[in-house]
């Protein structure tokens, strides 16, 4: 597929080229690929390409694509720029449901500057066989289902404050020690909330010296205190008992 090289293709982009070795290594280490025989894994690599996508990009494909996320994050959205339903951070795979012949009808959109390895579902099946592709689908879908159920629990149980804290930590984890580059408007879109609600929730965090906002950059001054305020922390567990309804 080298004929489809675009400016975002890592192979065309010198700074990205420097990362290509790391990206390829991340792919080879991917939990869904490690169990494959070497020649099968090589066949997967030969049938796809490394790509970089900018935040906000909507990935709509003519043919169903499977994307291994190596860096940054993608998400499925209820609508363009509205409510991230499923979050695909590093190690997650987007689009595997196409292996089962499902068309999702969701918007796939880039959440944070992303590097992915992508190939068509058809090419993946060609490389690993239908059975193995279905096994990948099963493992991936089960994990995503648990995450989406957690998201649902958060949304029903918690207000915007704890959800904002959780999202900030999630984005921070993509590049720990560095500011999260994201506008409050974009954050509100991810959360499916209004910007005014996010502003109101963000204000006390700044007041308490936990985060600092500055023109689209969000510095986490105290991730530990932020984690204490977040709902459904990284362990992704459901609350022991529901919090009082927020409506």
40 binds its own copies (CB under 8 A): no
31 binds its own copies (CB under 8 A): no
209 binds its own copies (CB under 8 A): no
Return the H-helix or E-strand segment holding 18. helix 14-28
CA atoms within 13 A on the CB side of 216: 4
CA atoms within 13 A on the CB side of 213: 18
Q: Which of residues 142-161 bind its own copies (CB under 8 A)?
A: 142-146, 148-149, 151-153, 155-157, 160
Environment class of 34 (CB within 10 Å of its CB; exposed 0-12, middle 13-18, buried 19+) = exposed
Instruction: Please tell me the distance from the alpha carbon of residue 57 to that of residue 69, in angstroms, as a whole number.
Output: 15
Q: Is residue 46 classed as helix, strand or coil in its secondary structure?
A: helix
46 vs 146, beta carbon nearer its own copies: 146
Greatest Cα-to-Cα distance within the chain, rounded to the nearest angstrom: 56
Q: Which of residues 85-124 bind its own copies (CB under 8 A)?
A: 85-86, 97, 99-100, 102, 104-106
Tell me how far, at minimum, the Cβ of 34 lies from its own copies, in Å: 16
Residue whose token pair is 């904002």: 164
Tell me how far, at minimum, the Cβ of 35 lies from its own copies, in Å: 12
Task: Write out the residues near its own copies by the rule CB under 8 A.
Answer: 76, 78-79, 82-83, 85-86, 97, 99-100, 102, 104-106, 131, 134-135, 137-139, 141-146, 148-149, 151-153, 155-157, 160, 192-194, 197, 237-242, 245-247
């Amino acid at each position: 597929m080298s004929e489809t090289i675009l400016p975002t293709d890592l192979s065309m982009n010198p700074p990205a080229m420097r990362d290509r070795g790391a990206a390829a290594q991340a792919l080879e280490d991917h939990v869904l690929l490690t169990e494959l025989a070497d020649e099968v894994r090589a066949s997967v690599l030969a049938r796809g390409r490394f790509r970089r996508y900018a935040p906000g990009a909507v990935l709509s494909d003519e043919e169903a694509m499977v994307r291994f996320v190596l860096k940054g994050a993608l998400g499925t959205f209820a609508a363009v720029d509205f409510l991230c339903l499923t979050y695909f951070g590093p190690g997650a795979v987007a689009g595997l449901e196409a292996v089962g012949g499902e068309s999702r009808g969701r918007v796939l959109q880039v959440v944070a500057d992303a590097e992915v390895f992508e190939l068509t579902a058809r090419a993946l099946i060609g490389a690993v066989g239908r059975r193995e592709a279905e096994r990948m689908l099963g493992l991936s879908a089960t994990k995503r289902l648990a995450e989406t159920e957690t998201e649902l629990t958060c949304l029903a149980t918690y207000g915007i404050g704890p959800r904002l804290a959780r999202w900030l930590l999630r984005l921070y984890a993509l590049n720990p020690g560095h500011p999260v580059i994201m506008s409050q408007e974009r954050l509100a879109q991810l959360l499916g909330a209004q910007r005014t609600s996010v502003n109101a929730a963000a204000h006390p965090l700044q007041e308490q010296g936990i985060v600092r906002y500055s023109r689209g950059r969000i510095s986490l001054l105290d991730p530990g205190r932020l984690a204490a305020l977040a709902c459904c922390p990284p362990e992704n567990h459901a609350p022991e008992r529901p919090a009082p309804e927020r409506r």
